Amino acid sequence: MKNLFALLLLVLIAMSNPAHACVGKTLFVGISGPPQDMLFAEIISQLVTERTGTTVKILQFKDSTELYNAIRKGEVGMLVEGTDRALQIIKRKESNSRLAYDLVKKEYRKSLNLVWLDPFGTGQLLAPVISVDTIGHLPALPKLLNKLAVVLNEDSYNKLLKSFKPDEKPRKIARDFLKAKKLI
What pLDDT score does 2 carry?
52
Strands 126-131 and 78-82: antiparallel
Q: What angle do CA 81, 164, 50 make, to 5 degrees?
A: 70
What pLDDT score does 166 carry?
67
What pLDDT score does 122 carry?
60
Distance (Å, whole) CA 56 – CA 58: 7
Going from the C-alpha of 147 to that of each of 92, 139, 156, the distances in angstroms are 29, 15, 14
Q: Which domains does the chain have, with CATH numbers?
A: 23-180 (3.40.190.10)
Could you state, in chain order, the average pLDDT of each consecutive group of 10 residues for the chain (184 residues)?
A: 43 36 72 86 94 94 94 94 93 92 96 93 83 94 91 82 78 90 91
Q: What is the DSSP letter of 118?
A: P
What pLDDT score does 6 carry?
39
What pLDDT score does 20 carry?
34
The DSSP string of 9-22 is HHHHHHHHS-S-SS
What pLDDT score does 35 carry?
80
What pLDDT score does 178 carry?
93
Distance (Å, whole) CA 63 – CA 16: 42
